[in-house]
Amino acid sequence: MNPLPFIHGYTPADLQNMGMTRFLLQLYANLNAAQCRSVSSVVKSRKRRSKASHLPHDIQLNLNTMLARGCRYRDIIQSLNAQGYPGFNKVNLNAWKRTGFQHWLQTRNAEPSLVTDQPVLVTGRNP
């Protein structure tokens, strides 16, 4: 039986090639199944490099909340400008929506305690 069936996206041969087999086997020997799934997601995750990933956490939360509510990009850009974060464009926001926002949605859905009613600052007209 395969000793590493729960590492999503990696075969044991991939792990062997990366030199991680022995390390992971020792690590997983001391963890339960839920903890193993959590660790495997950390092993697979990448550091975000988008412009929005450099925003402070509270501004990111505001951005994610606005995206979740379906605000238009131009309204989000105006809000970021009003909060002192100029220079964002539709490409920046779309990149964040495909990566960091999706991760935020998964985290929020996995842990209901993270769902909050944060205020959203929107400047300009809302038709």
Which 3-state string (H, E, C) describes 32-97?
CHHHHHHHHHHHHCCCCCCHHHHCCHHHHHHHHHHHHCCCCHHHHHHHHHHCCCCCCCHHHHHHHH
38-82 residue pLDDT tens: 544 544 556 677 899 999 999 999 999 999 999 999 999 999 999
Nearest to 57 by CA among 7, 19, 114: 114
How far is the C-alpha of 21 from the C-alpha of 12, rounded, in Å? 7
How far is the C-alpha of 25 from the C-alpha of 40, rounded, in Å? 12
81-122 residue pLDDT tens: 999 999 999 999 999 999 999 999 998 887 655 445 555 555
The answer to whether the pTM exceeds 0.75 is: no
